[in-house]
């Protein structure tokens, strides 16, 4: 899987800080300047990495997908999200820890720049995730197949303790690049893990946000609605 050019913009940074660039008044134009500075400082610190593997589906029941090599995914709503999956693609995406570390170091010194760097980091992971999903979609389309929306662990239907060990077990990512803690969180924190169903006539039910437990309170919902 190829590492893409992330093509980040100042607007991306602001959105992933929870702001709407279209609604920022003239009096707050300094926020654009801070976001531009964050991009100048932060872009060289991004160390994007993708880990990917595709497994064949052996059987799919109401609450479980059984895969080759004895792996299985237990998720209460998978039958609705990817009911005709023939393959499951596993992906872990990360941008490394340098940008995250700089944002943390600056928090007590320059909170505005710190938050802008954090917005840049969030936007970077999001773009990297989107690119990984698009690469899977393009390959599947070439083979006459369709893909589901990406689904990651961390919801009541697929909690971290069930999902993350499977993703890390299947992918076996380089521990020098990314690790899973005892509490099932990823280090670096600016990382994402997910699966995608691939098959014939795969329905695309809803959006990623609709399956997120924070969908009603998420301040980044603007990004997904664009």
The answer to whether the predicted template modeling score (pTM) of the entire model surpasses 0.85 is yes
pLDDT score at 225: 45
Looking at residues 84-90, what average pLDDT do you find? 93
Looking at residues 100-105, what average pLDDT do you find? 96
pLDDT score at 224: 46
List the single range of 13-17, 146-150, 181-185 with lowest mean pLDDT.
13-17
Using a 10 angstrom Cβ sphere, with 0-12 exposed, 13-18 middle and 19 or more buried, the burial of residue 41 is: middle
Q: Do the strands 191-199 and 87-94 form a parallel or antiparallel pair, or are they unpaired?
A: antiparallel
Looking at residues 54-70, what average pLDDT do you find? 92
pLDDT score at 19: 66
pLDDT band at 208 (very low <50, low <70, confident <90, very high): low
Looking at residues 192-220, what average pLDDT do you find? 66
The string of pLDDT tens digits covering residues 122-171 is 999 999 999 999 999 999 999 999 999 999 998 888 999 999 999 999 99
For domain 10-225, which CATH number applies: 3.20.20.450, 3.40.109.40, 2.60.120.10, 3.30.720.200?
3.40.109.40
**Are 103 and 118 within 8 A, CB to CB?**
yes
pLDDT band at 1 (very low <50, low <70, confident <90, very high): confident
Helix 98-106 to helix 111-142 angle, to the nearest 10 degrees? 160
pLDDT score at 206: 52
pLDDT > 50? residue 100: yes
Looking at residues 175-184, what average pLDDT do you find? 96
Using a 10 angstrom Cβ sphere, with 0-12 exposed, 13-18 middle and 19 or more buried, the burial of residue 168 is: buried
pLDDT score at 167: 97
The three-state secondary structure class of 198 is strand
For the chain, give the percent of residues with pLDDT over 70. 85
- For the chain, domain boundaries: 10-225
**Are 221 and 209 within 8 A, CB to CB?**
yes
Q: CA 99, CA 95: separation in Å to the nearest integer?
A: 8
> Chain-wide mean pLDDT for the chain?
87
pLDDT > 50? residue 215: no
pLDDT band at 226 (very low <50, low <70, confident <90, very high): very low
Residue scoring higher pLDDT (143 or 210): 143
pLDDT score at 211: 47
């Amino acid at each position: 899987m190829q590492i893409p050019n992330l093509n980040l913009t100042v607007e991306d940074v602001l959105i992933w800080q929870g702001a709407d660039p279209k609604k920022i008044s003239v009096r707050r134009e300094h926020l654009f300047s801070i976001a531009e500075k964050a991009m100048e400082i932060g872009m060289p610190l991004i160390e994007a990495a993708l880990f990917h593997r595709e497994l064949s589906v052996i059987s799919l029941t109401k609450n479980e997908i059984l895969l080759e090599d004895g792996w299985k995914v237990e998720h209460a709503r998978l039958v609705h999200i990817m009911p005709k999956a023939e393959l499951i693609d596993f992906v872990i995406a990360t941008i490394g820890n340098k940008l995250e570390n700089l944002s943390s170091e600056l928090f007590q010194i320059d909170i505005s720049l710190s938050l802008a760097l954090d917005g840049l980091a969030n936007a970077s992971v999001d773009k990297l995730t989107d690119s990984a999903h698009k690469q899977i979609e393009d390959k599947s389309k070439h083979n006459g197949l369709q893909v589901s929306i990406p689904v990651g662990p961390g919801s009541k239907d697929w909690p971290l303790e069930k999902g993350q060990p499977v993703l890390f077990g299947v992918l076996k990512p380089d521990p020098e690049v990314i690790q899973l803690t005892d509490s099932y969180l990823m280090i670096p924190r600016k990382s994402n893990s997910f699966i995608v169903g691939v098959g014939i006539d795969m329905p695309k039910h809803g959006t990623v946000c609709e399956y997120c437990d924070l969908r009603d309170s998420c301040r980044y919902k603007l990004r997904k609605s664009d």
